[in-house]
Amino acid sequence: MITKEAHIVVGLGFGDEGKGLATDWLCGRALAQGRQPLVVRFNGGHQAGHTVTTAAGQRHVFSNFGAGTLRGVPTYWSEYCTFSPGSVLKEYAALQAAGVQPRLLVDARCPVTTHYDVLYNRALETTRGAARHGSCGLGFGATIERHEQTPLRLYAQDLRFPTVYGHKLRQIRAHYRTRIQTETTVDFDQFDHDAEDQRFGAYAEALVRLHGEQVIQLVNEADVFGPASTWQAFIFEGAQGVLLDMDFGLFPHVTRSHTTTTNALALLQRNQPDLAAKAEVHYITRAYHTRHGAGPFPHEAEVSLINNRDETNQLNDYQGHFRTGPLSVELLNYALACDATISTGLRKHLLVTCLDQLPDGLLPCWHDNQLRAIVPTALSELLETEFASCQFSTSSSGAGLPEL
């Protein structure tokens, strides 16, 4: 009998560490071991951008589907994640065009991001000017705030009922009209909101059709983790990084999300406490630090890189330039210490990605107020965590990791 496993992927930086690569590799390992894996997204939303490149060169940036999708692994979109109908359908079409048939299990209680959440997010960030918080402008934080601080809650399950979501959309429109007119410099009434509402309705209808085809299914937590569950390896794919965590990041430049193991362990502890006690945590960092968006970035400096022509993160209106800097041992230890308060007693692993992007193969690293260049294997000796394994990826397709 094959025993069940749980693996939690967590970024140690400001995001963009290589969590997609790690998730894809863990899915491949589970399949090679004869286990049936399921990717579980446990925080964030469609603002994620997790790049996976196969050994054959197929490449996709995942936002609404798990990073194991190219291997045929389904995704569970937990209630901790926001759900964006238009973004899901756009990515679904792109995957189909690439010959991939994804499968997405969506928790019925997922908060739905509307075009009004996106508009408010962008209007507020634009109004902040030089004091921007670093949002990517996709409405994630606005959606969470609306669900937590108002009664205007729109759930994934509501998308099956036009009368219900139509009523809620009208209330959400009125809510954001007041907020945008009073809190920002943007004129809410300049936009054709009726047309956007109709487009939202078309998205809902398309999702209902896909639900009937069992491509995108509404489920409950018990369906995924309960006694009848057939999954043998739960691969929890984190979004963003610990340094952006709502509890531990440097406010106000944080996300409205737990980017640590918090949500993943909560899902397991509620449903499979024995599995929660033996889950393994995989901490991911690039061979250098990155930050895309406004906010403090200690030791920020241009890092000389090679083999980075396919970098996913590009200049955009809301996040600006993709920023780089040498690794900070202090920040890595801080991120590890934050998560240690949650994941006490679990086996920990370290994965360093993008080693092929450093011309000399040495890690640029700030330690004891000195900038040093160290061999990759020396990094774990500077970190205040005992790792069961330390692994290094030397390409976007995971070269350098143990063979599957």
Judge contact between 12 and 349, C-beta under 8 A.
no
Q: Report pLDDT for 133.
A: 59
Question: Residue ranges for the binding site for Mg(2+)?
Answer: 16, 49
Question: Over the chain, what is the mean pLDDT?
Answer: 92
Q: What is the pLDDT of residues 338-367, one digit of tens each?
A: 999 999 999 999 999 999 999 999 999 999
Question: Residue ranges for the binding site?
Answer: 15-21, 49-51, 240, 255, 354-356
Given a cut of 60, whether residue 122 has pLDDT beyond it is yes
Judge contact between 358 and 365, C-beta under 8 A.
no
d(C-alpha 235, C-alpha 348), whole Å: 14
Q: How many Cβ atoms from other residues are within 10 Å of residue 170's Cβ?
A: 12
Q: Report pLDDT for 132.
A: 64
Q: What is the pLDDT of residues 159-191, one digit of tens each?
A: 999 999 999 999 999 999 999 999 999 999 999
Q: Report pLDDT for 135.
A: 65
- Domain map (residue ranges) of the chain: 115-206
Which pLDDT band holds residue 1 (cuts at 50, 70, 90)? Answer: low
* Closest C-alpha to 67, from 134, 2, 118, 18: 18
Residue 249's alpha-carbon distances to 14, 18, 244, 308, 387, in angstroms, are 9, 19, 5, 27, 23
Q: What is the pLDDT of residues 4-35, one digit of tens each?
A: 999 999 999 998 899 999 999 999 999 999 99
For residues 318-347, average pLDDT: 91
What is the residue type of 132? Answer: R
Q: Report pLDDT for 131.
A: 67
Which pLDDT band holds residue 241 (cuts at 50, 70, 90)? Answer: very high
Judge contact between 59 and 320, C-beta under 8 A.
no
Half-sphere exposure of 287 (CA within 13 A, CB side): 29
Q: What is the pLDDT of residues 209-229, one digit of tens each?
A: 999 888 999 999 999 998 888
Q: Report pLDDT for 328.
A: 95
Given a cut of 80, whether residue 403 has pLDDT beyond it is no
Q: Report pLDDT for 320.
A: 60
Which pLDDT band holds residue 139 (cuts at 50, 70, 90)? Answer: confident
Q: Report pLDDT for 404.
A: 57
Of 94-103, 256-265, 309-318, 341-350, the range with the lowest mean pLDDT is 309-318
Q: Report pLDDT for 316.
A: 62
Q: Report pLDDT for 395.
A: 83
Question: Residue ranges for the binding site for GTP?
Answer: 15-21, 49-51, 354-356
Helix (H, G, I), strand (E, B) or coil at 390: strand
Q: Which residues have a catalytic role annotated?
A: 16, 50
Residues 6+ apart with CB under 8 A from 188: 119, 123, 176, 177, 180, 181
Beta bridge partners of 239: none
The label of the residue with tokens 């918090």 reads: 262
Q: Report pLDDT for 48.
A: 85
Token pair for 110? 């997922």
